[in-house]
Amino acid sequence: MSGTSPRARRALRSFPRLWIFAFRRSNLVALQADPHIVESWARGWALSRGTPPPVHIAGAFRIDVGLPQHKTRYVFPQCSDDVRRLAETVHDPEVHIKVCAPPEAVQRLLPPHWMIERLGFMMTRPPAHPAIPPLPEGYRGEAWITPPILCVQVTVPSGLATATGRVALVGPFAIYDQIETHEAHRRRGLGNFVMHALGKHASDQGVNHGVLVATADGRALYTTLGWQMHSLYTTAIVRRESSAERSLNA
């Protein structure tokens, strides 16, 4: 790990962290997230999406996304009073709060005008060097680099992209993002190909520790590829009706 900072080395030694408590509504096990891994993921996500880098503020990593329906996101490595204080002062539905914690724990900190939108899964992958699997007949894989991002996609002869993904390298971590397979082309190994191609690129650069945030469907795929859950990842948003009511009463 030559050239790696002491803080990064500590994060790698604790990868993944094993601070555990029960999540009542399922048989999932929630792990307390390592703040350095969360920060690295936020930086990689910002690189992948072409946004300004995250700023550490009030216990969170703030990213100015700049989209009409998603202007800003605050990523919290854990539940704390900082989540509550921020939620109490924000009434803009285009601001998202993301917390590496179970939804029940996040919900307890939210004022009434906020709601839980969805549950995700921050996942990590220890070092691995798997070979890239072949694609089924009729598919073609291609990759290109738009520094500092590697993009991979799978196409059919017409040129239609059927599976895509990208990876950004942040210190000792490879941050995977926008892994998607077209619904009509799923269960054919295309996502598996994309993930292995991205992993090989990272490995060729000396980076073997992967981080991503998955949906429930994505989590099932990544688990079969050796990924482990690092923490739950809960998204909260302002209730749209609260915003509309506020405008009528202004």
Q: Where are the domains of the chain?
A: 19-123+232-248, 129-207
pLDDT digits (tens, 9 = 90+) for 181-233: 999 999 999 999 999 999 999 999 999 999 999 999 899 989 999 999 999 99
How many Å apart are CA 85 and CA 239, to the nearest integer?
17
Average pLDDT over all residues of the chain = 87
pTM for the predicted model, two decimal places: 0.84
- In the three-class reduction of DSSP (H, G, I as helix; E, B as strand; rest coil), residue 175 is classed as strand
Q: Are 162 and 182 in contact (CB under 8 A)?
A: yes
Neighbour tally for 228: CB within 10 Å = 13
Handedness of CA 50, 17, 109, 23 (dihedral sign): positive
Q: What CATH class has 129-207?
A: alpha beta
